Amino acid sequence: MDEKFLKPYNPQESEARTYEAWQESGYFNPDTCIEKGITKANAEPFSIVLPPPNVTGKLHMGHAYEDTLQDVFIRFNRMLGKKTLWLPGTDSAAIATQARVEKNIKKEEGLSRHDIGRDELVDRVSAFAKESEEIILSQIRRMGASLDWSRYAYTLDEKRNLAVATAFKRMYDAGLIYRGNRIVNWDPKGQTTISDDEIVHEERQAKLHTFRYSKDFPIPVATTRPETKVGDVAVAVHPDDARYKEFVGKEYEAIFCDVPIHITVVADQEVDPEFGTGAVGVTPAHSQTDWDIAERHDLPKDVVVINEYAKMSVTGRLNNMKTTDARESVVAWLLEEGLLEKSEDVTQNVSTAERTGGIIEPLPKLQWWVAVNKPFVLPHSTIHGIKSGEKTTLKQLMRTVVESGAVSIPQDGFRKTYFHWIDNLHDWCISRQIWFGHRIPAWYRSDEVSVGTSAPSGEGWTQEDDVLDTWFSSSLWTFSTLGWPEETQDMKTYHPTSLMSPAYEILPLWVSRMILMSGFHLGEVPFKTVMIHGLVRDKQGRKFSKSLNNGIDPLDMIEKYGTDALRMGLLVGTSIGNDIRFDENKIKGYKHFANKLWNITRFILENASSDLKAVSYNEVDNALKKSFDELAEDVTKDIEEYRVYMAAEKLYHYAWHELADKIIEESKPILQGNDMIAKTSRELLLNEILNNLLRLLHPFMPFVTEEIWQSLPSKDKEFIMIASWPVTIK
RNA sequence: GCGCGGUUAGCUCAGUUGGUAGAGCAACUCAUUUACACUGAGAAGGUCGGGGGUUCAAGUCCCUCACCGCGCACCA
């Protein structure tokens, strides 16, 4: 017996060495497994593409959990003999990364991005990204993740750039990407547009002011944003509202706070006659709903009164004031003029930018969009529910794919969330006014526009300044990582991928858009199953956040208890989909468990390794073996049906409370006794159970099982990682 | 407003197609150098959020209410 078993199991001593050995073996790469005859060339594929972590930060508990889940499925399927690929990568995360670096530069050098210039800034952001990339990748390795590093991808590398430009061009040619002047969510703090999904609503106290534009204006109007009223072009009322019927169609002139305005009264179904005065002041340029009203009634939409810095751009006293100051100024003016009827306190939801916290200012801007409601013909489709050559829209495609089960979301509640989101979906604004990211592959020359994967020939073309929303490139991820648009062998073998297991936060942001992109470009689903998981929270159930300073570094847990303990602690006792409260005590418990396995092994090696070998079990041992086999089948079924938390718990329970507490305890007299048949039978049993149990546990606790496996005398020195799963699946 | 979760032992949570309520931790009693103290044995702890229904049988299915989270939309 190896002397190491005389001391307690020490994960710190062996984990790094073990990971190194796995990596050197090349078995993370399915091609190597085939070459070495471990996987059959015609084996069924199983693939997962790692949701690429942002190159802004370091590994947090959420990553640790997500990586564990995926690694369990990957290791399980590899041991089943499937052609198993887990593909790693990282995401440039355009806005997040640039914002981070800009902040540092501002703090350390007092310079803005415009002082530095585009090229210099992009260089600096890229350097920062490179640095954090290395950190996060080394951290993922410490989780024991069996990723095929030879296929590593980065959203801004050459192949992914080609994929992005190709995707953009094809969608542009199909009329699904267009450039248009529409209301965007403008973040004055970040100086960029953001998509609807990057907005966070915050409840605030506000005042609802009821006023008239002028003394002789017949209809009072209520607003929480008086400063925008200088941009009003109409008042909308409900068509059936008797109070205002006589005014519909009439036009009025007024000088509102030094600004001449022209107001038309229109009737619109959307107006709620019960709210406020039952009349809406329509400001098309600074409100999405008002823009829509203006479209329906053919009202002017170009009366812009607020600029990109959230300052007023009008004639008179308000000019160049911050909107918040202008608000007070307008109220004061209304009071002076006797136009203010009342002011009430209301709670209001304010839209803020997720990344910067800036208050969103709706502004009309010329931007690039993905049209989600525009019909197009999908030439080739293997998606269940959509035929080749069928006419559809991107929205419909996203819905059908999940409805038909082409993408399976086993958790019913999340299916509903998904549909709810799809039904509320508007065109997707994909241009961002920042410099780090994929520059939009469009070139302009006077009135001409050229879209392509490279600059058009000829003189005088300038490329679009804006870059793409980071989710545009992320949505291509399942296939851009496999070599698309080239027709690679990897594409044929591993796409659609088998499983995606994202946090529920990212379902609309990412999952649905991967379905969109894969559907349009390939006529395929991006993955067959989506297993949505919850968030890891602190002990009090709060989100981990910098401001609360409640973060727990997974690496600290690994230092203290070992990776296997962390993995088990995150998995057991948590159904997938619900949030998890992080409990260090649990992790500690599984450190003890790793040691328990260590000592079970020690006992068996010390007491059940005589030279005499039984060829069959006696009756008692046969029954014990049978019940173990039942457990093995049970656990296998649990993993196949995504109940990994139950599988892990059952194995834990069996190892500790069956094998150690009962079988080993009962073995002591047998092994010391004189009944050689009973003794050799029991020796065989203990060795068999240990051998199989280690394999069953390996996906969950890869390090300790490998470390033990390497010391079992009966085995050759192959890795447990590529040992066969003890249960055959039909 | 629309929607999604959750409510089970002191705490954190499991509970698969309905079939005698489970685990870990904590607390309690005992064992004391054992393969393992990163230990073992034992006992205790629950009208499964409330109410109603379906059923031979409900933590599980249906209806309803309450409370706690969360998402989406939004009214000017």
User: How confident is residue A463, by pLDDT bands cut at 50, 70 and 90?
Assistant: very high
Instruction: Round to whole Å and give the CA distance between A124 and A436.
Output: 10
Asked if residue A309 keeps its beta carbon closer than 7 A to nucleic acid strand B, the reply is no
The pLDDT assigned to A567 comes to: 96
The pLDDT assigned to A725 comes to: 96
A684-690 — which CB contacts under 8 Å span 24+ positions? A684/A613, A684/A614, A684/A617, A684/A621, A685/A617, A685/A621, A685/A624, A685/A625, A686/A604, A686/A608, A687/A604, A687/A608, A687/A609, A687/A714, A688/A625, A689/A624, A689/A625, A689/A628, A689/A659, A689/A663, A690/A600, A690/A601, A690/A604, A690/A659
* End-to-end Cα spacing for chain A: 38
User: How confident is residue A600, by pLDDT bands cut at 50, 70 and 90?
Assistant: very high
Contacts of A240 (CB under 8 A, 6+ apart): A273
Instruction: Round to whole Å and give the CA distance between A340 and A486.
Output: 65
**CB contact at 8 A, A476 and A484:** yes
The count of other CB atoms within 10 Å of the CB of residue A182 is: 17
Q: Which nucleotides of B are covered by protein (CB under 7 A)?
A: 2-6, 12-16, 22-25, 35-41, 71-76
**What confidence tens digit (pLDDT) does each residue in A674-686 have?**
899 999 999 999 9
Q: Diameter of chain A by CA atoms?
A: 113
Q: What proportion of chain A, given as a percentage, has pLDDT over 90?
A: 76
**CB contact at 8 A, A563 and A144:** yes
Residues 327-346 of chain A sitting with CB below 7 angstroms of strand B? 346
Instruction: Round to whole Å and give the CA distance between A493 and A663.
Output: 45
Residues 492-511 of chain A sitting with CB below 7 angstroms of strand B? 508
* Structure letter (DSSP) for residue A434: -
A146: left (phi over 0), alpha (psi -120 to 50) or beta: beta
Angle between helices A118-142 and A94-109 (to 10 degrees): 110
Q: Is the pLDDT of residue A96 over 80?
A: yes
Angle between helices A11-25 and A118-142 (to 10 degrees): 110
Residue A545 burial (10 A CB sphere; 0-12, 13-18, 19+): exposed
Amino acid at residue number A363? L
Instruction: Round to whole Å and give the CA distance between A224 and A324.
Output: 11
Asked if residue A263 keeps its beta carbon closer than 7 A to nucleic acid strand B, the reply is no
Residues 9-48 of chain A sitting with CB below 7 angstroms of strand B? 9-10
Instruction: Round to whole Å and give the CA distance between A487 and A471.
Output: 23
Using DSSP's 3-state secondary structure scheme, residue A463 falls into strand
Instruction: Round to whole Å and give the CA distance between A566 and A579.
Output: 17
In Å, what is the separation between the CA of A504 and the C1' of B4?
11
Instruction: Round to whole Å and give the CA distance between A126 and A156.
Output: 10
Q: Is the pLDDT of residue A473 over 90?
A: yes
Asked if residue A223 keeps its beta carbon closer than 7 A to nucleic acid strand B, the reply is yes
Angle between helices A394-403 and A512-522 (to 10 degrees): 110
Q: What proportion of chain A, given as a percentage, has pLDDT over 70?
A: 99
User: How confident is residue A726, by pLDDT bands cut at 50, 70 and 90?
Assistant: very high
Per-residue HEC secondary structure of A505-531 comes to HHHHHHHHHHHHHHHHHHCCCCEEEEC
CA–chain centroid gap for A106, Å, is 29
* Structure letter (DSSP) for residue A583: -
In Å, what is the separation between the CA of A620 and the C1' of B60?
37
Q: Which residue(s) pair with A133 in the sheet?
A: none
Asked if residue A595 keeps its beta carbon closer than 7 A to nucleic acid strand B, the reply is yes
How distant, in Å, are the alpha carbons of A12, A29, A592 from that of A17?
9, 19, 21
**CB contact at 8 A, A524 and A382:** yes
**What confidence tens digit (pLDDT) does each residue in A291-313 have?**
989 989 999 999 999 999 999 99
Q: Is the pLDDT of residue A326 over 80?
A: yes
Residue bearing the bigger pLDDT, A717 or A427? A427
The count of other CB atoms within 10 Å of the CB of residue A366 is: 11
Asked if residue A656 keeps its beta carbon closer than 7 A to nucleic acid strand B, the reply is yes
* Amino acid whose CA is nearest the C1' of B72: A421
Q: Is the pLDDT of residue A549 over 90?
A: no
Using DSSP's 3-state secondary structure scheme, residue A11 falls into helix
Asked if residue A579 keeps its beta carbon closer than 7 A to nucleic acid strand B, the reply is yes
Asked, as a colleague might, if the bond just before A220 is cis with ω within 30 of 0, I would say no
In Å, what is the separation between the CA of A585 and the C1' of B26?
11
The pLDDT assigned to A170 comes to: 97
Residue bearing the bigger pLDDT, A573 or A360? A360
* A5-31: b (≥16 Cβ within 10 Å) or e: beeebebeebbeebbeebeebebbbbb
Q: Where are the alpha helices (DSSP H) in A259-351?
A: 288-297, 323-337
Nucleotide nearest the Cα atom of A281 (by C1') = B76
**What confidence tens digit (pLDDT) does each residue in A429-452 have?**
999 999 999 999 999 999 999 999
In Å, what is the separation between the CA of A684 and the C1' of B59?
42
Write down the mean pLDDT value for chain A. Answer: 92
A338: left (phi over 0), alpha (psi -120 to 50) or beta: left
Q: Encoding tokens for residue A506?
A: 């990212």
Summarize the confidence of residues A73-92 as an average pLDDT: 97
Asked if residue A574 keeps its beta carbon closer than 7 A to nucleic acid strand B, the reply is yes
* Amino acid whose CA is nearest the C1' of B26: A585
Summarize the confidence of residues A351-376 as an average pLDDT: 90
Nucleotide nearest the Cα atom of A277 (by C1') = B76
User: How confident is residue A714, by pLDDT bands cut at 50, 70 and 90?
Assistant: low
Pick from A90, A85, A102: nearest CA to A44: A85
Instruction: Round to whole Å and give the CA distance between A219 and A234.
Output: 11
**What confidence tens digit (pLDDT) does each residue in A215-236 have?**
999 999 999 999 999 999 999 9
Summarize the confidence of residues A274-281 as an average pLDDT: 88
**CB contact at 8 A, A262 and A317:** no
The pLDDT assigned to A730 comes to: 67
**What confidence tens digit (pLDDT) does each residue in A561-578 have?**
999 999 999 999 888 888
Nucleotide nearest the Cα atom of A7 (by C1') = B36
**CB contact at 8 A, A469 and A475:** no
User: How confident is residue A716, by pLDDT bands cut at 50, 70 and 90?
Assistant: low
Using DSSP's 3-state secondary structure scheme, residue A239 falls into coil
The pLDDT assigned to A50 comes to: 96
Asked if residue A580 keeps its beta carbon closer than 7 A to nucleic acid strand B, the reply is yes
Asked if residue A600 keeps its beta carbon closer than 7 A to nucleic acid strand B, the reply is yes
**What confidence tens digit (pLDDT) does each residue in A55-65 have?**
887 888 999 99
**CB contact at 8 A, A285 and A278:** no
User: How confident is residue A190, by pLDDT bands cut at 50, 70 and 90?
Assistant: confident
* Structure letter (DSSP) for residue A674: S
Asked if residue A349 keeps its beta carbon closer than 7 A to nucleic acid strand B, the reply is yes
Instruction: Round to whole Å and give the CA distance between A292 and A299.
Output: 10
**What confidence tens digit (pLDDT) does each residue in A13-57 have?**
999 999 999 999 999 999 999 999 999 999 999 999 999 999 887
Instruction: Round to whole Å and give the CA distance between A57 and A100.
Output: 10
Using DSSP's 3-state secondary structure scheme, residue A561 falls into helix
The pLDDT assigned to A715 comes to: 60
The pLDDT assigned to A319 comes to: 94
The pLDDT assigned to A633 comes to: 93
**What confidence tens digit (pLDDT) does each residue in A98-107 have?**
888 998 999 9
User: How confident is residue A657, by pLDDT bands cut at 50, 70 and 90?
Assistant: very high
* Amino acid whose CA is nearest the C1' of B68: A541
Asked if residue A614 keeps its beta carbon closer than 7 A to nucleic acid strand B, the reply is no
Residues 660-689 of chain A sitting with CB below 7 angstroms of strand B? 660-662, 664-665, 668
